[in-house]
Amino acid sequence: MNDYQVSDFMVKTLITLLFPVSLCIIILAFGLSLLWFTKKQRFGKLAITIGFILLVLFSTYPFSYAILGYLERQYKTFRINDDFLKNVSGIKYVVILGGGLTSDPRLPITSQLNHSSLIRLIEGIRLYRKIPGAKLILSGGVGFDCVSDAEMMERLSISLGVEPQDIILESKSLNTYEEAKFIKNIVGDKRFILVTSAAHMPRAMALFKKSGMEPISAPTDHLVRKHQRFHPIMVFPKADRLKETETAFYEYIGLIKERLAGRI
């Protein structure tokens, strides 16, 4: 692991402490320590109460829908309709951003790619098949695994029938900022379709546009869905809602970090 990876790992570790579960556990642990080891019983009870309330809040549908939905609704779904070919005239690239993997030879390749990577790849291939002469640009370097996102997505793409000559790999990047930098060297000033998770799209579009490119957003992997009917069970805490809140936290923190760095 080089110095850059070590630094990136440390930053991500610190950011992880601000995620919903970590934050609630820290507050609850602080409250328990006050109750068990000090005489500050009132402060301990207050901390535990706050930690409990936050955990319930982060795990419920109204909160996750509001905080994550705001991100996911910023870019509309890229629809394939009668005007599709007209809208993509002159476009030759479909760029798919990697969403992580865990390489385990014991498992099928569809289980080794993270859920986000898998959904992004499926959507990208779907669009690629609709555009005559298009090329797939698969992006994502080696993080804390021995295989890059791009390489693993290439393997699955070929097994799904994509011609190897239609695939371009960008396997050096370690984050979205680097993906934008390296992909610019491939696409130049040409317009292209950018496929990534809906929650990640605002940050990705901001970074790619800042790099002087003209991406056309094609968000996928939506986690927030509008229910057609309300049912009381929807307000009960669920692990899925907690995951949605964590995804939103990750993206908001990412946007703040990139803005502070002057990249967007």
pLDDT digits (tens, 9 = 90+) for 217-242: 999 999 988 776 777 777 789 999 99
| The model's pTM | 0.90
Query: Can you tell me the distance from the alpha carbon of 141 to that of 48, in angstroms, rounded to the nearest whole number?
Result: 41
Place of tokens 């602080």: 30
Full DSSP string of 171-220: ---SSHHHHHHHHHHHHTT--EEEEEETTTHHHHHHHHHHTT--EEEEEE
Place of tokens 């970074």: 207
The DSSP code for 220 is: E
**In this structure, are strands 167-170 and 192-197 parallel, antiparallel, or unpaired?**
unpaired
Angle formed at CA 75 by CA 71 and CA 81, multiple of 5 degrees: 145
List the domain boundaries for the chain. 3-72+237-260, 84-220
Interacting residues of 169 by C-beta distance below 8 A, sequence separation 6+: 137, 138, 148, 150, 151, 154
Token digits of residue 245: 């809140």
Angle formed at CA 98 by CA 94 and CA 100, multiple of 5 degrees: 165
Q: Across all residues in the chain, what is the average pLDDT?
A: 90
Q: What pLDDT, in 10s, does the model give residues 57-113?
A: 999 988 999 999 999 999 998 877 766 666 667 889 999 999 999 999 999 999 999
Place of tokens 């705001």: 70
Mean pLDDT for the stretch of residues 172-197: 95
Interacting residues of 50 by C-beta distance below 8 A, sequence separation 6+: 27, 31
Checking if the pLDDT of 215 tops 80, the result is yes
Q: Maximum distance among all alpha carbons in the chain?
A: 72
Please count the other Cβ atoms lying within 10 Å of the Cβ belonging to residue 233. Answer: 8
Mean pLDDT for the stretch of residues 195-216: 96
CATH superfamily placement of domain 84-220: HUPs (3.40.50.620)
Checking if the pLDDT of 11 tops 70, the result is no
